Structure 1
Amino acid sequence: MNSTIYKPTTPPPSHPSSQFPQLTACKTLRDLQQFHAHFIKTRQIHDPLAAAEILRFYALSNHRNIDYARAVFNQIQTPNCFSWNTIIRALAESSVTEHPLEALFLFYRMVCDGLVAPNKFTFPSVLKACARTGNAQVGKSVHGMVVKFGLDGDDFVVTSLLRMYVMCGVMEDAHSLFSRSVDDLNGMKQEGKVVLWNVIVDGHLRLGDFRAARELFDKMPQRSVVSWNAMISAYAQNGFFREAVEMFRAMQIGDVCPNYVTLVSVLPAISRLGALEMGKWVHLYAGKYKIGIDDVLGSALIDMYSKCGSIEKALVVFEQLPKKNVITWNAIICALAMHGRAEEALDYFSKMERAGVVPSDVTFIGLLSACSHGGMVEQGRSFFNHMVNVVGLEPRVEHYGCMVDLLGRAGLLEEAEELILNMPIQPDDVTWKALLGACKMQGNIEMGKRVAKILMDLAPRDSGSYVALSNMYASLGNWEAVSSVRLLMKDMNIRKEPGGSWIELDGVVHEFLVEDESHSRAGEIHSMLAEISNQLRLEGYRPNTTQVLLNIDEEEKQSALHYHSERIAVAFGLISTAPRTPLRIVKNLRICEDCHSSIKLISKIYKRKIIVRDRKRFHHFEHGICSCMDYW
């Protein structure tokens, strides 16, 4: 979660650094070691203040080295409280898994020695170590010691306690402490109380209890930018894209300004919804308020523009980045691949190599995807071999999935199946789904049935394999088998994912489902659909009813095609925008062949550029032609 709810304590302001200004001149660990050697030689190291300062530099400075810090601490005959706090904090914050547990052992030793009493700077680090080890029982014992030493009224110690309970998932104790703290800590500054609220909200977000988190968030007497970021980030990262965008809108109405973290958090949600106008607003906001567009924010903007259908703007953002690294190169290569601009994706890879940037495994996912959408089988094989034999990367399951998709689209189903069966790693459901999709596309019913059954064993709750198997039986006219599959789905309470499409107009995202009549302008939309149908017939269009895998008559099949969600979205776009305005539509499933053919003609009839993002890629329809050249 991209939210900073809690920051570790800093050493007390009375640390002795001012007595040893030479230390601040140390530029490297070697400089520090030479200074340390001088202290040992002159016996200054026996001065507790000097030893404590050397320890602080080894443990907490930019030149930190935990092994040296531990060795220095162990040589101090009588560590003062500052030294104990320093080593405990360093271990509690260390990225090494075992170090937080070592911090707890050191705290136990400190308490047992009894020579130095822990203070308000000791407990936050100890509690952080408890949180990182997930040891709520030890945390409760430390809580008892906090009370014993009279520190249960200290703002930062209380915040650290609450954070510990939240991180350990002990929400009952967390709420109990939170309620007492909010009521009792009258001297706590408003900023400190906001932090307490943030911590308890974060706890529910971590546990996936979004309803409780939202209820608490709405009750907050005051919110900081961290409060908003926590909610936006959690929503976006857990698939609640609409909620993330709505929260972002609400934030703008309030008196808290979005910051860098806000923009990075909300852009993925904007991308998924295809909300281009809001994405543009975010980009303009970053420029207006001098929020630096680094590799992370830059790649998020590239991803947003490309997923919202504006690949040209994504290219502009990439070219304007002051510094480019593997993350930003990957973003633009994957963006071009998604839009079917395979040759350009490969050209950018060549530029990346000439720039001396070493490709990562994500780079090759983008390249293989580009080759797949472009039907470039030999180039795809070449890139796969280059990744393994030249760059030295071990292929992940995603790379094999791309290769299966590449071969399957090209009709090389046996080779694709053989690749799966000979993979050195276990194929996942996504890999098998790529082959299943290819079987359906190429009309290989026998292999498709076999693959569907493998998927039903591998992912028994996923509706996709059941629907695919049902559709294959339907294409053969085997309605008895279709009924059997659907009955099995009903018995297992497995529901087919409904087809849905989105279109953004004036910053508002409108959603449509199949045969949707819920929109406030449903009457106008249906009139437009009727007009479109008449215009298509005049152009010689004939409905491809083989796409309707239902046991109904021909007229009903034609009507079913008429009300697919993407067509409804197109109709709404036509009645809601000025002539020649481009339409950008997002669909959650793969666009069907009939809708693809229809939208090509619609783009010609109404002189519109229509950009559709389906589950797999982008289709740019213009003048009766699609950018995919009917290969998708």
Structure 2
Amino acid sequence: MNSLTLKPKAIPSHPQLLVPEIRTCKTIRELKQVHAFLIKTARTRDITVATELLKLCATSDFRDPGYALSVFDQMPEPNCFAWNTVIRALAEESNADGSLNAMLLFSRMLYDGMAEPNRFTFPSVLKACSVAARLEEGKQVHGLVVKFGLDDDEFVVSNLLRMYVLCGSVEDAHVLFSRNVGGVDDMSRVVTDKRRQEANVVLCNVMVDGYVRVGNLKAARELFHRMQQRSVVSWNVMISGYAQNGFFMEAIEMFHKMQMGHLSPNRVTLVSVLPAISRLGALELGKWVHLYAEKNKIRIDDVLGSALVDMYAKCGSIKKAIQVFEKLPRNNVITWNAIIGGLAMHGKANDVFDYFLRMERSGVSPSDVTYIAILSACSHAGLVDKGRSFFSEMIIVAGLEPRIEHYGCMVDLLGRAGYLKEAEDLILNMPIRSDDVIWKALLGACKMHKNIEIGRRAAEVLMKLAPHDSGAYVALSNMYASSGDWDAVAEVRLMMRGLDIRKDPGCSWIEIDGVIHEFLVEDDSHPRAKEILSMLKEISHKLSLEGHMPDTTQVFLKIDEKNKESVLHYHSEKIAVAFGLISTSPKTPIQIVKNLRICEDCHSSMKLISKVYERQITIRDRKRFHHFEHGSCSCMDYW
């Protein structure tokens, strides 16, 4: 509609007949033109016309909450619907400013006293309290809910419960939940009223989400299992909770159980489970999720699409990640970050720089996450000068403030290249407080370059920052062991024993026919353990014929050489490779995920295994991907 074409003779004689004309507006500009005309002709005095104007600028696709507030302020006697409309519009901005404005407007409503809040007012106000993290104001709103007799209203109570959860007050949420549902211990009672059943499911979902948010997965799981009915949301919360808290196998198991219960996954389910699939490298399951989305016409938007790109990249299929990326709308930096981060993890630095250039040319501005991926790519490729240049560009050109992750990438970049003193100075002089991760990066570099002096200083800081983290103690012990200082090794080990600190065991995963198999160091618990052991002996024999000598310097134990060689044979990735060889047909690619950095002996062994058995072997360790083929690795022995 073009309001400038309206002529006096075309104007309806009754103001309310203008409502259909208002509804035809397609842009905020058209709406403003109509509004100006209505003001000029004094038609905004009619409550129906004014309300229709307000509704359109507050809730339409081209909504403008600020403009809606100005329309509202011109209404002489706004009714409850008008108040609710503007409060909701402000609250749905989902930022602190909009939420605070929504709360202030609600205060005006109470002070004005002309319209009384109802069951549609409080959910928006409670959402505003949640977004702004205003627990005390939320409690005051709770008091008003009781005062206006809405504490039994299912819609209001569910939003009240969600407010407590999002504000981090799980204890208050639990009290409210118990009062309305009966508590965890009373969940087994039969509720015959269908509406009440549905309300209970909503409240349970919110409460489970609350437990998940504070990391109490035990309470979340107990409540989930006691629920008489579960919706797709119930399953999504648990899958997401497991994945976000590092329980990836449990997340995938929950995903499988959901389907056994005859519930169809939705878009949120897929977005929730994909990170778990990514972390475990379960490529076949990831492919199934992708196919499921396409078959069920689930729209692969920038969020789901980015999750798929990330999954394919982390599961070793960078070509497929690129294919998915090229089909996505590329106007969102998250999508670009997914592919750039994936390429960086695979050590494809030149491709990272090409995609970064494409992103800038497409008009998408890089975010701080983009630069983390770029600096990581520089680190894996040893491009020190390039990394320094990008770090400066991020600050000067992009105008981004470096986060601890950026400094961590720079320390990793400098440390890997041997610039240990420069890396240490960077940590000591950076304008933000250092954390354990950045000191671990320096300590790892010191271990790599056998610099005990700086390594000891880094370890001492780490032991203060994270006194119960095994990483610092193990790295320091290994450095002493590599230099033959067994007294110092014993001292560190004694310290660990006194603090009851245990080393994180090496763990590797391999997916065979859709089933994920997990192996620990010296693991003999697998049903096919005898066959795996036999294959390990065969591998050792064939590698020795190729002239391979086990690198016993990678065993940091005071034992004889023969026993050191034996220890090396049973690293988790070697066990996983042996299982892959006996479980797949010749020339089938083998893919493994490992929780720690691959050691030098395993790295050299994998190169030879790929040559001897004519296999492509892909290993994703804690830092990056290694693609072994024809006796060489994609990392060019720099990792």
Structure 2 length-normalised TM:
0.88
Instruction: Give the C-alpha shift of residue 549 in structure 1.
Output: 0.9
2:178 partner letter: H
Q: Which residue of 2 aligns with 1:134?
A: 135
| 1:323–1:558 Cα change, 3 Å | same
CA distance in 1, matches of 2:140, 2:295: 49
Letter of the structure 2 residue corresponding to residue 174 of structure 1: F
**Using the alignment, how far apart are the partners of 1:464 and 1:156 within structure 2?**
49
1:123-162 alignment to 2 at 5 Å?
A: 123-129=122-128, 131-132=130-131, 133-135=134-136, 137-147=139-149, 151=150, 154-162=153-161
Which residue of 174, 177, 181 maps to 1:174? 177
The residue aligned with 1:9 is: none
Deviates more, 1:134-143 or 1:511-520: 134-143
Say which is worse superposed, 103-112 or 169-178, in terms of deviation: 103-112
Give the whole-Å Cα distance in 1 for the aligned partners of 2:619 and 2:17. Answer: 64
Which residue of the partner structure matches residue 79 of structure 1? 78
Residues 184 and 282 of structure 1: is their aligned pair in 2 closer, same or farther, counting only changes over 3 Å? closer
| Structure 2 residue 449 is matched with structure 1 residue 442 | yes
Distance 2:423 2:194 in 1: 68
SS at match of 1:188: helix
Q: Distance in 2 between matches of 1:328 and 1:96?
A: 23
AA matched with 1:90: A
1:349-387 per-residue CA deviation (whole Å, 9 max, x = no partner) reads 333344444333322222222222222223323333333
How far does residue 59 in structure 1 lie from its aligned partner after superposition? Answer: 3.6
Deviation at 1:18, TM superposition (A): 7.9
The range that moved more, 498-507 or 323-332, is 323-332
Percent identity of equivalent pairs: 64
| Counterpart for residue 43 of structure 1 | 42
Give the corresponding residue for 2:492.
Answer: 485
Q: Which amino acid aligns with 1:82?
A: F
Structure 1 unpaired stretches of 5+? 1-15
Decide which of 463, 469, 481 is 2:476's aligned counterpart: 469
The correspondence for 1:233, drawn from 224, 232, 240, is 240
Q: Name the residue aligned to 1:618.
A: 625
1:462-611 → structure 2 map (5 Å cutoff):
462-611=469-618
Structure 2: how far apart are the matches of 1:110 and 1:374? 61
In the TM superposition, what is the alpha-carbon distance from 1:611 to its structure 2 partner? 0.8
Specify the alignment match of 2:311 in structure 1. Answer: 304
SS of alignment partner, residue 626 of structure 2: strand
Distance 2:160 2:255 in 1: 30
**Structure 1 counterpart of 2:21:** 22
What are the superposed Cα offsets for residues 235-271 of structure 1, whole Å, 9 maximum, x if unpaired?
1112111111111111222222112211111111100
- TM-superposed deviation, 1:225: 2.0
Paired residue total: 614
Q: Cα–Cα, structure 1 residues 392 and 251, in superposed 2: closer, same or farther, change >3 Å?
A: same
Q: How does 1:107-122 map to 2 (within 5 A)?
A: 107=106, 110=109, 115-122=114-121
The equivalent residue for 2:257 is 250
Q: Is the CA contact (8 Å cut-off) linking 2:109 and 2:115 kept in structure 1?
A: yes
**Compared with structure 1, are the counterparts of its residues 233 and 186 closer, same or farther at alpha carbon in structure 2 (3 Å cutoff)?**
same
- Using the TM superposition, give the Cα deviation of residue 420 of structure 1 relative to its aligned residue in structure 2, in angstroms: 2.8
The aligned residue for residue 420 of structure 2 is 413
Larger deviation: 80-89 or 63-72?
63-72
Question: 2: CA distance between counterparts of 1:377 and 1:118?
Answer: 62
Q: Partner of 1:441: helix, strand, or coil?
A: helix
Distance change in 2, residues 1:158/1:343 (3 Å)? closer
Cα gap change, 1:140 to 1:270, in 2 (>3 Å): same
Residues of 1 paired with 2:318 and 2:98: CA distance?
46
What pairs up with 1:361-372 in 2 under 5 angstroms? 361-372=368-379
> Map of 1:58-457 to 2, 5 A cutoff?
58-97=57-96, 100=99, 103=102, 107=106, 110=109, 115-129=114-128, 131-132=130-131, 133-135=134-136, 137-147=139-149, 151=150, 154-167=153-166, 168-169=169-170, 170=172, 171-179=174-182, 186=193, 188=195, 191-323=198-330, 325-457=332-464
Whichever residue aligns with residue 411 of structure 1, its letter is G
How far is the alpha carbon of 1:70 from its aligned partner? 3.9
Cα shift at 1:146 = 4.4
Aligned residue type for 1:78: E
Q: Secondary structure at the match of 1:393?
A: coil
Q: Are 1:298 and 1:318, in contact at CA under 8 Å, matched by a contact in 2?
A: yes
Contact 1:166 1:174 in 2 (8 A): no
Question: Quick check: 1:57–1:64 contact (8 Å CA) kept in 2?
Answer: yes
Q: Report if the CA contact (8 A) 2:135-2:164 is conserved.
A: no
Q: Is the 8 A contact 1:162 1:177 kept in 2?
A: no
Query: Contact 2:191–2:197 at 8 Å: present in 1 too?
Result: no
After the TM superposition, which of the residue ranges 539-548 and 381-390 deviates more from structure 2? 381-390
Q: Return the letter of the residue paired with 1:176.
A: R
After superposing the two structures, state which structure 1 stretch, 328-337 or 315-324, moved more: 315-324
**Paired position in structure 1 for 2:32:** 33
Q: Quote the Cα distance in structure 2 between the aligned partners of 1:544 and 1:312.
A: 34
Q: 2-side partners of 1:153 and 1:185: how far apart?
A: 18
Q: Distance in 2 between matches of 1:445 and 1:622?
A: 35
Name whichever of 584-593 and 161-170 sits farther off.
161-170
Change (3 A) 1:305 1:448: same
Moved more, 314-323 or 516-525: 314-323
Tell me the TM-score normalized by structure 1: 0.89
Q: Secondary structure at the match of 2:619?
A: strand
Q: RCO greater where, 1 or 2, for CA within 8 Å and sep 6 or more?
A: 1
Deviation at 1:277, TM superposition (A): 0.6
Determine the C-alpha separation between the residues in 1 that align with 2:28 and 2:263.
42
SS at 1:477's partner residue? coil
CA RMSD of aligned residues (A): 2.8
Cα gap change, 1:302/1:130 in structure 2, threshold over 3 Å: closer, same or farther?
Answer: closer
Q: Which moved more, 1:568-577 or 1:204-213?
A: 204-213
Report the secondary structure of 1:20's partner residue: helix
Distance in 2 separating the partners of 1:85 and 1:324: 34
CA gap 1:602/1:67 in 2 versus in 1, 3 angstroms: closer
CA contact (8 A) 2:126 2:160 kept: yes
Deviation at 1:119, TM superposition (A): 3.3
Seen in structure 2, the aligned counterparts of structure 1 residues 161 and 312 have a Cα distance that, compared at 3 Å, is closer
User: Cα distance 1:130–1:185, how it changes in 2: closer, same or farther (>3 A)?
Assistant: farther
What code does the residue aligned with 1:31 have?
E
Q: Is the 8 A contact 1:198 1:227 kept in 2?
A: yes
Equivalent-residue separation in structure 2 for 1:248 and 1:201 (angstroms): 16
Per the TM alignment, residue 543 of structure 1 is displaced from its structure 2 partner at its CA by: 1.4
Is the CA contact (8 Å cut-off) linking 2:271 and 2:304 kept in structure 1? yes
Q: Once structures 1 and 2 are overlaid, which stretch shifts more, 37-46 or 234-243?
A: 37-46
Matched residue type, 2:34 = F
Note closer, same or farther for the CA distance 1:301–1:587 as it changes in structure 2 (3 Å cut). same
Output the CA distance in 1 between the equivalents of 2:16 and 2:317.
Answer: 54
Cα drift, residue 574 of structure 1: 1.2
Quick check: 518-527 or 26-35, which moved more? 26-35
Query: Which blocks of at least 5 consecutive residues in structure 2 are unaligned?
Result: 1-14
Q: CA deviation at 1:184?
A: 7.6
Query: 1:385 & 1:208 partners in 2: Cα distance?
Result: 38
